[in-house]
Amino acid sequence: MNRTTAMIATIVTVLFCGLPGIGLICFAALGMLGTNLPGFYEENPTATPEQALLGAGVFVCIGLLLMLIPALVGFFTFRMSKKEEPANQFDYIPPAS
């Protein structure tokens, strides 16, 4: 795998896994802050603060896993990519006999 393919794979995983992971963590943070709102429990009488915090915690974990995927893809693809060796310009050419 060359470096261009490794770069493309890393960018694609950042777009499809990293950015949704960041969004999920942001929504989880909003959910954690929303557990203290008094109007939330008036609209949802069956909900408890523990359920809201548990759901937000699950979203944080999933978001962190989604953000870990591009880092792992980038690490392994760049590690396995072969470095291009420059052609030796001064190869020994034996004299013609």
For residue 95, is it within any domain?
Answer: no
Q: What are phi and psi of 93, to 5 degrees?
A: -115, 120
Instruction: Judge contact between 47 and 41, C-beta under 8 A.
Output: yes
The residue segments making up the domain with residue 74 are: 3-80
The number of distinct structural domains making up the chain is 1
| pLDDT tens track for 22-31 | 999 999 998 8
C-alpha distances (whole Å) from 50 to each of 11, 41, 46, 55 are 37, 12, 12, 9
Report d(CA 49, CA 55) in Å as an integer. Answer: 10
**How much is the pTM?**
0.72
For residue 67, is it within any domain?
Answer: yes
| pLDDT tens track for 32-46 | 887 776 776 777 778
